[in-house]
Structure formats: C-alpha cells, structure tokens
C-alpha cells in the first residue's frame, strides 16, 4: 500500500484572515480489524486468520494490562502513558468525577511512514464542512470519549445546525448494531458555525459511535442550502468496570 494523503484547501475557521488556509483531509473511508487482518494476510505471513486474530488480541490485552498497572508503554508505533482526570475530593477516588485515560503520541514506526507519505492538494473547496476536534467538557478529554449526561464540544467549520429538513440534527450511530439516537433540539448550549456544545444523551450505552452533524447552514446568508450535508467523526462511551474482560474464549 503506497502512502498517499489527499486534502482540500479551506478557510481556517479559527482566524478572521480570509487568506488563512488549512488543508482538510479527504477521507479514504474506515479501516477496522477485518481490513487490517486482510492486509496482514496479503504480506504472505503464512499464518492462519485465527492465529493472527489471537496474537493481535493477546498483544492488545497485554499492552492494556501494562498501562493499567502504571507502566509507560513504548511499542515503536506509539508511546502511551496512563493519566488521571478530575479533582480528588477529601482524598477519595470518585468514579463519578474522576477517571483514567491514556495519552498516545506517535513513535518511530509512524514517523517513518509519515516521512514516506505523499501529500496531494486537490485545490480549493468552497464552503467545506469539517470537524477538527472534539472535547468532553466534563474532563477536558479530546480523544473522542463522551460522558453521557454531560457537555460535549465539536469544533470545525460550517457546523451550525439549522434547517427544516428532517435529516438536520446530530445523531449517534452505534457501530455495533447500527441503532441511532438523535439529539434533542433542547440539548444545545452553543450552536455556532465553528463550535457546537451539547449534552450527550444520558441513555447512550457503552460502545463506539459515529457522531454525524447534518445541517442546511450557508455562510453569511439568510437562506438555507436546498439539500442538507453532513460530516461525521468517531466517538465512544466506555464505563470502566472491575468486571471488564475482553479476553477471547478459546475452546
């Protein structure tokens, strides 16, 4: 697989300078375990699919175990460090206010792949809608994690949620079962082109979600777009439990 990233030039929503441009990545789609295993098999490893799955699953579990026992983990692909969030009150850990997260930074393998990557600028793309980042306002996490019932922020451009089309709004699609939860109109605290802040639905179960913003917003105009457009990002809800065990069952 040849490394190639494609992007469109767009206005920088964080500055007022009309000449300020950023490069917005053109997504090539999503890749999960199935696609990764297929690429691994394509390298002619000589290993069976079930062996690859077992080894990768075991590797992930051991890395997670090291992290949850206070180790800094350096895999070559990334450097990971466990951290705590929240204020400790009266010297006691409160799962409602305190949490654990892991900070990841790129390491040698990624740096080497970056150095071999070709960048293709496809030109100007007017009024491009994009998401640059997210933040869980309850703990300042920016890794895509959400806390149900708490404020969550989405940053980008052309994000203001307006329009009378029934598709307009924010939805959360559970990637495991494709069930969709739509955000209520009364859940917004900020609805600006460059920033959305809303309360995460309290009924979201643990899991990975595709958060999609759909709007008919047009910059600097009172009119609405004839057809709505959307942009998506991956977010997740994870409640840590002592009973969690993702080890595969081997018969």
Asked if the model's pLDDT at residue 14 lies above 70, the reply is no
pTM score, whole prediction: 0.70
Question: Which residue did the predictor score with more confidence, 13 or 84?
Answer: 84
Asked if the model's pLDDT at residue 33 lies above 70, the reply is yes
β-pairing, 180-182 vs 118-124, is unpaired
Asked if the model's pLDDT at residue 228 lies above 70, the reply is yes
Q: Give per-residue pLDDT as tens, 82-113.
A: 999 888 999 999 987 888 888 899 999 999 99
- Percent of the residues in the chain that have a pLDDT greater than 70, as a whole number: 92
Mean pLDDT across the chain, nearest whole number? 87
pLDDT at 249: 39
Distance CA 9, CA 42 (A): 34
Residues paired with 81 in a beta bridge: 103
Q: What is the DSSP letter of 16?
A: S
pLDDT at 97: 80
Average pLDDT of span 208-213: 95
> Poorest-confidence range of 38-47, 170-179, 199-208?
38-47
Query: By the 8 A CB rule, do 118 and 208 touch?
Result: no
Query: By the 8 A CB rule, do 228 and 165 touch?
Result: yes
β-pairing, 130-136 vs 21-25, is unpaired
Average pLDDT of span 15-41: 83
Beta strands in 90-168 (DSSP E): 99-106, 118-124, 130-136, 151-157
Distance CA 160, CA 185 (A): 12
pLDDT at 239: 63
Distance CA 11, CA 196 (A): 18
> Poorest-confidence range of 12-26, 47-61, 90-104, 143-157?
12-26
The residue count of the chain comes to 251
Q: What is the DSSP letter of 15?
A: -
Asked if the model's pLDDT at residue 247 lies above 70, the reply is no
Distance CA 138, CA 135 (A): 9
Asked if the model's pLDDT at residue 118 lies above 70, the reply is yes
- Percent of the residues in the chain that have a pLDDT greater than 90, as a whole number: 58
- 242 pLDDT band (50/70/90 cuts)? very low
């Amino acid at each position: 697989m040849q490394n190639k990233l494609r992007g469109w030039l767009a206005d920088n929503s964080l500055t007022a300078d009309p000449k300020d441009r950023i490069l917005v990545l053109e997504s090539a789609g999503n890749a999960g375990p199935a696609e990764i295993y297929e690429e691994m098999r394509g390298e002619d490893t000589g290993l069976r699919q079930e062996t690859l799955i077992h080894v990768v699953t075991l590797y992930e579990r051991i890395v997670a175990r090291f992290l949850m026992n206070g180790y800094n983990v350096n895999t070559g692909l990334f450097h990971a460090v466990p951290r705590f969030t929240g204020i400790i009150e009266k010297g006691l850990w409160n799962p409602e206010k305190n949490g654990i997260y892991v900070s990841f930074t790129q390491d040698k393998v990624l740096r080497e792949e970056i150095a071999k990557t070709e960048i293709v600028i496809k030109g100007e793309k007017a009024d491009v809608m994009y998401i640059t980042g997210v933040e869980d306002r309850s703990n300042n996490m920016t890794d895509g994690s959400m806390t149900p019932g708490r404020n969550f922020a989405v940053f980008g451009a052309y994000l203001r949620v307006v329009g009378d089309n029934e598709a307009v709004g924010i939805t959360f699609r559970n990637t495991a079962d494709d069930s969709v939860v739509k955000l209520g109109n009364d859940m917004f605290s900020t609805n600006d082109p460059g920033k959305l802040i809303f309360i995460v639905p309290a009924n979201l179960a643990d899991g990975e979600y595709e958060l999609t913003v759909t709007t008919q917003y047009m910059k600097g105009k009172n009119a609405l777009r004839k057809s709505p457009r959307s942009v998506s990002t991956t977010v997740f809800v994870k409640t840590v439990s002592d009973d969690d065990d993702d080890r595969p069952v081997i018969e």
